[in-house]
Amino acid sequence: MSNELLTPAEMGEADRKAIEAGPFDGIKLMRNAGACVAREVLRRYAAAERVHVLCGPGNNGGDGYVVARLLAESGVPVSLWSSGEPRPGSDAALAAGECPLRPMPLAGFLPTTGSIIVDALYGAGLSRAIEGDTVRAIELAITFGLPVVAIDLPSGISGANGRVMGAAFRAELTITFARMKPGHLLMPGREYCGEMVLSDIGISDAVIDELQVCTFRNCPQLWLGEFPVPGVDTHKYRRGHVGVFSGGPASTGAGRLSALAAARSGAGAVTVLSPGNALAVNAMHLTSIMLRKADDGTEVEAFIGDRRPSAFVLGPGFGVGDKVREFALAVLAVRAGVEGLVLDADGITSFREEPSALFTAAAAPDAPALVLTPHDGEFARLFPDLAADEGLSKLERARQAAARSHGVVVAKGADTVIAAPDGRAAINANGTPWLATAGSGDVLAGLIAGLLAQGMPAFGAACAAVWIHAEAGARFGPGLIAEDLPLALAPVLRELTYSTES
Ligand SMILES: NC(=O)C1=CN([C@@H]2O[C@H](COP(=O)(O)OP(=O)(O)OC[C@H]3O[C@@H](n4cnc5c(N)ncnc54)[C@H](OP(=O)(O)O)[C@@H]3O)[C@@H](O)[C@H]2O)[C@@H](O)CC1
Ligand SMILES: [K+]
């Protein structure tokens, strides 16, 4: 796999293990890294009048000395600036020694229009907020409107959590090595990185495997092996049956959006479970989707007994209150046949006073899988202490929430994080602002339930649904409303299904 995400500490460990294992020692890895960057600069910025290479005191700076040397050897006008001498004997000192250019102090940095900046000040070793000459260089890059190519990370961005430490370069291009880091995908880091290039510098997959990383970039590679593809001998109930709880007469649309998405995902049957007083409204808008009255826990249990549903969606448009708790706990008490419950929106908020009732029900052996899909506000209602802890990144928050709730947590946003109770987590990277529209979350909840109903394990189902949902939204683009999304899922699902057959 190449979709593991390594924290800066894990990347340092990978560097060390790779050097131990050979064939490349530290300076060779650094030369490989610098060569990847120089190649991209030559390819993309051939018209630049000058390249200003800004080098820090660590190995990120070492990469910069390699880039400066290679560009100068290619005949590119290069100016070299340094914020501090490399430590004697370090790989960076070796790289500086191989570079024929003499660095000027960063304090005197003055760029020219028509030039570009290669930012080799700080990468994985950023240990505190940046200040002084580096902040001034960032301001000059903005004032002159110069493209910035960042090596490994834009200086000032934490590779661990994507936060801006003091200030940071806004790169047009960021070139990183071996594996991406969480800070490349978490906001606001993702925005500061610009376009990302992942370069192979000779660190083998075997070295990465030894680290037993459990954080991933969310992409089909992560879950395609579990993606449900119907066999030729299937029938509709073998493809899973999703129950979606509807709100009252004035708020039935959200549930129907979930139901449509569940049906599009490939679930063989979908039933809207409606309060008696909303049956007529729902009936007027449903065709292939079934409808059944469910006013209390007994009616829900009767439905489960009669129709053997395999997954549920509870929350969209449902309203906050006791009934959510009753229905959620009834579903989580089933011990066979129900794969999972997706609790969204009002479903999450309804447990704010007593989250432990939900978490205990989800923790019971053989309980259906619980998938929680909170946006930031809902997350804070269920996990107020985690939300308030500024020391935690979104990744760490989601991971702790999953462990505590015994559920898969889909922490939504521009950088949606999906975390499982066993510690696995994925950061989504194909999100699109077109999905920021009413009802889009209802579609996501239905899609997760549809995949759960077809037997996809909960973490994979949640990751797949988030990716597919974003991909469909991005392809549709301007003009997207939630009603468009269920149909827009079809081409994405089709491509994934056919790709599992090749
Ligand atoms: N052979 C290898 O291992 C390979 C490594 N590679 C490259 O190495 C990079 C990681 O190198 P690194 O670990 O040396 O960290 P780096 O980002 O250069 O910074 C450390 C230096 O900066 C300083 N410093 C930190 N924050 C600061 C601040 N706010 N303001 C001022 N100073 C600050 C810090 O000082 P200290 O905290 O120790 O006082 C220390 O001197 C990685 O990103 C990749 O590009 C690739 O070539 C592949 C092969
Ligand atoms: K950098």
| Ligand 1 site-directed mutation target among 98, 122, 169, most atoms within 8 Å of CB | 122
Any idea what the Cα angle at residue 463 is, between residues 460 and 467, rounded to 5°?
135
Query: What pLDDT digit, counting tens, does each position of 220-233 carry?
Result: 999 999 999 877 66
Predicted confidence at residue 238, as pLDDT, reads 74
Tell whether ligand 1 has an atom less than 6 A from the beta carbon of residue 177.
Answer: yes
Q: Which of 186, 196, 265, 205 is nearest to 230 (CA)?
A: 265
Q: Compute the distance between CA of residue 486 and CA of residue 160 in angstroms, rounded to an integer.
A: 35
ipTM of the prediction:
0.98
Cis geometry, peptide bond prior to residue 188 (ω within 30 degrees of 0): yes
Q: How far apart are the CA of 124 and the centre of ligand 1, in A?
A: 6
Residues 319 and 235 grouped into a single domain: yes
Question: Per the domain annotation, does 287 fall within a domain?
Answer: yes
Query: What pLDDT digit, counting tens, does each position of 268-295 carry?
Result: 999 999 999 999 999 999 999 999 999 9
Q: Compute the distance between CA of residue 374 and CA of residue 345 in angstroms, rounded to an integer.
A: 7
Residues 175 and 279 grouped into a single domain: no
Residues 392 and 493 grouped into a single domain: yes
Query: What pLDDT digit, counting tens, does each position of 97-126 carry?
Result: 999 999 999 999 999 999 999 999 999 999
Look at the alpha carbons of 384, 387, 390, 391 in this order and tell me if their dihedral is positive or negative: positive
Tell whether ligand 1 has an atom less than 6 A from the beta carbon of residue 59.
Answer: yes
Residues 132 and 180 grouped into a single domain: yes
Residues 363 and 455 grouped into a single domain: yes
* Element at 494 (helix H, strand E): helix 485-501
Tell whether ligand 1 has an atom less than 6 A from the beta carbon of residue 168.
Answer: no
Ligand number with the minimum distance to the CA of 59: 1
| Among candidate residues 213, 240, 264, the one where a domain is terminated | 213
Residues 174 and 239 grouped into a single domain: no
Q: Please report, in angstroms and rounded to a whole number, the separation of the first and last CA atoms in the chain.
A: 18
Give SS3 for 94. Answer: helix
Query: What pLDDT digit, counting tens, does each position of 329-375 carry?
Result: 999 999 989 999 999 999 999 999 999 999 999 999 999 999 999 99
Q: Count CB neighbours of 366 within 10 A.
A: 7
CATH (domain of 65) = 3.40.50.10260
Residue pair 289/303 in contact (Cβ under 8 Å)? The answer is: no
Q: Compute the distance between CA of residue 327 and CA of residue 82 in angstroms, rounded to an integer.
A: 63
Give me the chain's average pLDDT, please.
96
- Nearest-atom number in ligand 1 for the CA of 159 is 43
499 appears as a binding residue in the annotation: no
Tell whether ligand 1 has an atom less than 6 A from the beta carbon of residue 33.
Answer: yes
21 appears as a binding residue in the annotation: no
Tell whether ligand 1 has an atom less than 6 A from the beta carbon of residue 93.
Answer: no
Q: Compute the distance between CA of residue 175 and CA of residue 180 in angstroms, rounded to an integer.
A: 9
pLDDT value at 242 more than 80: yes
Residues 269 and 191 grouped into a single domain: no
Structural domain boundaries, residue 125: 8-213
Q: Which residues contact 403 (CB under 8 A, 6 or more apart)?
A: 421, 423
Nearest protein Cα to ligand 1, atom 44: 60
- Nearest-atom number in ligand 1 for the CA of 29 is 49
pLDDT value at 473 more than 70: yes
- Nearest-atom number in ligand 1 for the CA of 62 is 47
Q: Compute the distance between CA of residue 142 and CA of residue 323 in angstroms, rounded to an integer.
A: 54
| Among candidate residues 165, 182, 213, the one where a domain is terminated | 213
Length of the chain: 502
Tell whether ligand 1 has an atom less than 6 A from the beta carbon of residue 176.
Answer: no
Facing residues of 50 across strands? 115
Residues with CB under 5 A from ligand 2 (ion): 119, 123, 150-151, 155
- Phi then psi for residue 464, to 5 deg, are -60, -45
Nearest protein Cα to ligand 1, atom 15: 125
Q: What's the structural domain count of the chain? A: 2
Reported pTM: 0.96
Tell whether ligand 1 has an atom less than 6 A from the beta carbon of residue 151.
Answer: yes
Question: Per the domain annotation, does 224 fall within a domain?
Answer: no
Region of 455 please: left (phi>0), alpha (psi -120 to 50) or beta.
left
Mean per-residue pLDDT, 88-96: 98
Q: Compute the distance between CA of residue 33 and CA of residue 23 in angstroms, rounded to an integer.
A: 15
- Nearest-atom number in ligand 1 for the CA of 153 is 43
Residues 46 and 102 grouped into a single domain: yes
Residues 105 and 246 grouped into a single domain: no
Tell whether ligand 1 has an atom less than 6 A from the beta carbon of residue 128.
Answer: yes
Q: Which residues contact 61 (CB under 8 A, 6 or more apart)?
A: 55, 82, 83, 84, 86, 92, 96, 120, 121
Mean per-residue pLDDT, 61-86: 98
Question: Per the domain annotation, does 254 fall within a domain?
Answer: yes
Mean per-residue pLDDT, 53-72: 98
Q: How far apart are the CA of 256 and the centre of ligand 1, in A?
A: 52
pLDDT value at 501 more than 90: no
Residue pair 150/171 in contact (Cβ under 8 Å)? The answer is: yes
Q: Taking the CA atoms of the chain, what radius of gyration do you get in angstroms?
A: 26
Tell whether ligand 1 has an atom less than 6 A from the beta carbon of residue 30.
Answer: yes
Q: How far apart are the CA of 126 and the centre of ligand 2, in A?
A: 9
Q: Fill in the DSSP letter of residue 396.
A: H
Residue pair 199/177 in contact (Cβ under 8 Å)? The answer is: yes
Tell whether ligand 1 has an atom less than 6 A from the beta carbon of residue 61.
Answer: yes
